Amino acid sequence: MASSEDHDRLVQAQQSVAQYREVYEEYRTRWQEAQIAWQQQATTRIADRPPDYPARLARAKMAVDTALKDWTIRGKKTQYERAEAIIADLTARSDLATPDEEHG
């Protein structure tokens, strides 16, 4: 039998995921796009690199770092991922399965 405390933690975590999902996804997408742009710069063939390549690469890396910081702070990354981990942990226990999981 699940404890009331575990049930309350599960409900709170589910509410946090619902509350932060949109902003989390928005900032994760921004980080992914910055990461892709940086990787494109980093993998540019030497022969194809423009004269200002070092500056472009540095700006792309700074954009990745800024996007990660924004995702962490504004995108509620830690709160969202902690809530997901709590849900995964608690729902892995058969006595705390959500009603949808119980009814298949």
Predicted local confidence at residue 44, as pLDDT = 97
More confident position, 97 or 95: 95
Predicted local confidence at residue 95, as pLDDT = 67
Residue 71 CB contacts under 8 Å (≥ 6 apart), including other chains: 24, 27, 28, 30, 31, 77
Two structure tokens written together for 94: 């058969």
- Range in 2-16, 32-46, 66-80 with the lowest mean pLDDT: 2-16
Predicted local confidence at residue 3, as pLDDT = 85
Mean pLDDT, rounded, for 47-70: 98
Query: Is the pTM of the predicted complex or chain greater than 0.85?
Result: no
**C-alpha 29, offset from chain centre:** 9
